[in-house]
Amino acid sequence: MRKILPLCTLALLFALSGQAVAGANTAQLDCTGSHAGQVLTLVGSIPASIVEVDLKLSYRGQTIRLVSPRAETSESTDFRHGIFRLEAALSGSNRLQLQAKPKSIKYRGSMGRGKLNASFGAILKDAPEPFKSVLKGAELSCIYAYEI
């Protein structure tokens, strides 16, 4: 005799599998600006709901790559309430901290619906070596794009 799963159990399993797929996605971050007359960029993949990062910070012809698992990341995102913070820690106090200016955030879509695009002004609260003392407080214009 075959067992038939109740419809609500199937729906729950389907919903959970959808969350697992959605959680496997990352968002793309593309930030540009200038500091002391030099071009500054921060581009790459950041966590959308998983903790993986692959970012490149470039300034004055030098590029630092922040990649999982070497860079441990945390992100706090709630565009509706003006929140975006990203932190990537390499070791000790060697970290990158990026924070959006809350009133600058403009967005369309939602992560729950599988597509979100945002733009905002941000400040580098902290930068990894060798940029630590030079880029702290630098301002960037950022675009955030997430899609399942």
CATH number at residue 60: 2.40.128
pLDDT, residue 89, reads 85
Is 12 a domain residue?
no
Report the chain's C-alpha Rg in angstroms.
18
* pLDDT of the residue at 110: 86
Does residue 75 fall inside a structural domain? yes
Does residue 109 form part of some domain?
yes
Secondary structure E strands in 36-114: 38-47, 54-59, 62-67, 72-78, 83-91, 94-100, 106-110
Q: What is the pTM of this model?
A: 0.77
Q: How many CA atoms lie within 13 A of 52 on its CB side?
A: 8
**Proportion of the chain above pLDDT 70, given as a percent:** 80
CB 111 within 8 A of CB 76: no
The answer, yes or no, to whether residue 7 has pLDDT greater than 70, is no
Express each pLDDT in 16-33 by its tens digit. 223 333 344 678 999 999
The residues facing 84 across adjacent strands are 77
Q: Evaluate whether residue 126 is within a structural domain.
A: yes
| Tokens coding 50 | 């998983």
- Any idea what the Cα angle at residue 72 is, between residues 67 and 77, rounded to 5°? 100
User: Between 134 and 147, whose confidence is greater?
Assistant: 134
Cα 3 from Cα 111, distance rounded (Å): 36
Query: Does any domain span residue 21?
Result: no
pLDDT digits (tens, 9 = 90+) for 29-59: 999 999 989 999 999 988 765 557 889 999 9
Q: Name beta bridge partners: 117.
A: 108, 145
Whether 58 and 74 have beta carbons less than 8 Å apart is answered as: no
Number of domains present in the structure of the chain: 1
- What is the arithmetic mean of pLDDT over 75-97? 88
pLDDT above 90: percentage of residues in the chain: 51
**Residue 11 resides in a domain:** no
Q: What's the confidence (pLDDT) of residue 4?
A: 41
Structural domain range at position 35 = 26-147
124 lies in some domain: yes
Least confident of 7-11, 71-75, 90-94, 103-107: 7-11
Residue 6 pLDDT class (50, 70, 90 cuts)? very low
Q: How far apart are the first and last CA of the chain?
A: 39
Residue 20 within any structural domain of the chain: no
